[in-house]
A = this chain, B = another copy of it.
Amino acid sequence: MDQGISDRFGLAVLDPLDGQASSRSERRDQQVQRVLEAAKACFIRSGFKGASMQEICAEAEMSPGALYRYFPSKEAIVEAICEADRRDDASCFIGMLDNPSVVDGVVYAALHHIRHTHECNKTALFAEIRSESMRNPAIDLTCSRNISEVGKRFHQYLSAAVERGEIDPPVGFETLLPTIMAIGEGMALNDLPGRGVDMDQLEILLRAMVVGMLRPRTADVATNTD
């Protein structure tokens, strides 16, 4: 195959020696993606416990040998799904930091999480993984790692704002952080956009709520209990 043509048409480069490696890695990524999509469908349909590796193979149209080459267990598949979520979270945090105030940033992060969960149709998968984490130590570890990473980012972001006097939350971080994260999870899990909640109205309500919880000291907010 002519490399020029394959490049122009966005095809995988198979012939040249350096192209072989890139093609192998691309094919591997595609296969992994195929397993992840198949597993998500099976977990949603049958539950984590109910879905067998056989069912995932059938859904992915892949032999057990091929599937086990990528993932030794369902737990390893969930880890890869959560790893992808961590990358989404990281891009959400970059967006959060771009906001002019910490209230705007927290509202942005909440709306982003709610919208992303809705648009990627993740509600049912998310509920299933969460529920499985309560009986499965391996899944619990994966979930805890994600939660603790999100908690660390929020902690850095909010404590910097407290230090520079931008906000004055009425309670310490040991109460504030788990509560904010529990609220975010509840809103995503309930798929508010899917239930017809208008996102502009939700933004107004979230801002009022976040202002209440963080007590910003800047002039553009109406709430200050001092």
Complex Cα gap A49–B215 (Å): 45
Q: B208 near A179 (CB under 8 angstroms)? A: no
Cβ proximity bits A123-164 to B, threshold 8 Å, 1 near / 0 not: 110011011101100000000000000000000000000000
User: Does A213 lie within 8 Å of B222, measured CB to CB?
Assistant: no
Main secondary structure of the interface of A (DSSP, over half): helix
**Distance A169 CA – B205 CA, assembled complex (angstroms):** 8
Which chain A residues (88-146) contact chain B, with CB distance < 8 Å?
123-124, 127-128, 130-132, 134-135
Known: A178-B190, A179-B197, A196-B174. A123 touches B134 (CB 8 A): yes
- Give every chain B residue within 8 A of A132 (Cβ-Cβ): 47
Cβ of A183 < 8 Å from any Cβ of B? yes
Q: How far is the CA of A134 from the CA of B121 in the complex (A)?
A: 12
**Alpha-carbon separation in the docked complex, A123 to B210 (Å):** 26
CA distance A119 to B50 in the complex (A): 29
A147 shortest CB reach to chain B, Å = 9
Contact across chains for A209 and B213 when beta carbons are under 8 A apart = yes
Sort chain A's interface into a size bin: 35 or more
**Residues in chain B near residue A48, CB distance under 8 A:** 47
The answer to whether A192 and B182 touch across the interface, beta carbons within 8 angstroms, is yes
Q: Which of A198-220 contact B (CB under 8 A)?
A: 198, 201-202, 204-206, 208-213, 215
Q: Are B198 and A178 in contact (CB under 8 A)?
A: no
Question: Who on chain B is nearest to A124 by CB?
Answer: B134
If A135-B44, A209-B209 touch, whether A179 touches B196 (CB-CB below 8 Å) is no
Closest to A184 in B: B186
A45 within 8 Å of B (CB atoms) = yes
Interface CB pairs A-B, < 8 A, 9: A123-B134, A172-B201, A174-B197, A179-B197, A182-B189, A209-B212, A209-B213, A211-B223, A212-B212
